[in-house]
Every structure is written in C-alpha cells, then in structure tokens.
Amino acid sequence: MLLYRIAKQNFINDFSGKGAELYGGRWNLKGLPAVYTASSLSLCMCETLVHTDKDIPPADMYFAEVFVPDECIFEDYFNEISLKHSLNIGSVWLKESKSLAIKVPSVLMPQSYKADFNVIINPLHKDFPKLKIQRVEPISFDARFYEGLE
C-alpha cells in the first residue's frame, strides 16, 4: 500500500515517530512513538492543514510517498473503532506491537466513507525495515486556503 506523509524538509525522511512521542496524538499517548500517514496525498494535505497556522501557508514542506506491504497493515479494527476511544486503542496497539501499521479512520471524513483513511506506523515494530520511501518532493498549499481569513 502506498501511504503519504507531509513534513518540513528537515523532518520528511525521519520516520522515528519522535514528534508523536513527544507530543502525543489522536492514536498515541505521549511517550509512544508513532508515524501518522494517510492513504492519499489529498487527505494528507487536509490533515496537515488542520494542524497549521490558519493565517500563513506552511512553507518548506515536502511529501513522502512510502510503501508498506499490505500484510503488515492491521485492518481488523477499522470498522469497529470509535473515535472517542482512539487514544486507548492506538496506544494499546503500539505497546503490544501487533503489526507494523494499523488502518484507522480520519476524523476529517464521514465515518461511513471508507475510501480514504489514515495509517499509523509503529517505528519500533520488527517489520519496520519493510517500509520503503518511494519518493520525496516539495509540496505547496494553494493560497486560496488562506484568502479572506483576516
């Protein structure tokens, strides 16, 4: 499966999960490393935009397209996940190291929409070397996202 991640140039090749480990996230408690990716570049852009300053387009951003073998992605919980329990579910999954990655819904999409989703990667899993960065390229955000926000 191809997955997408957006980060500043100096962090785009860093798949250590250090940022999520330091600050926590929707699917991981502080102290647990995790790498957040999306199933499409467009969803990845949306996920990035909701976490950025609304007045200034993010600068110096890059996207990474990464390959993770399908058999390394845990999907069993996808239809059962309640987003209010996401922190507990993700943290337990990370601690138990059940798989390299887990497919999870995005809160930006309707729960009934299954075509786009997020995938959380466990950088401490034994299968982590199977993750392959396919390409890295600069990405910019259209200025229309930021028009009229004064």
pLDDT (tens digit, 9 = 90+) per residue, 3-58?
A: 999 999 999 999 999 999 999 999 999 999 999 999 999 999 999 998 887 777 77
CB atoms within 10 A of CB 12: 20
- Which bin fits 60, alpha (ψ -120 to 50), beta or left (φ > 0)? left
Q: Is residue 110 part of a domain?
A: yes
Q: How many structural domains is the chain composed of?
A: 1
Q: Is residue 150 part of a domain?
A: no
Averaged pLDDT, 78-84: 63
Residue 27's domain comprises 2-144
Q: Is residue 32 part of a domain?
A: yes
The sheet carrying 2-8 orders its strands as 73-74, 101-104, 118-121, 35-38, 2-8, 61-67, 132-139
Give the pLDDT confidence of 112-142 residue by residue, as tens digits: 778 899 999 999 999 999 999 999 999 998 8
Q: Is residue 58 part of a domain?
A: yes
Q: Is residue 96 part of a domain?
A: yes
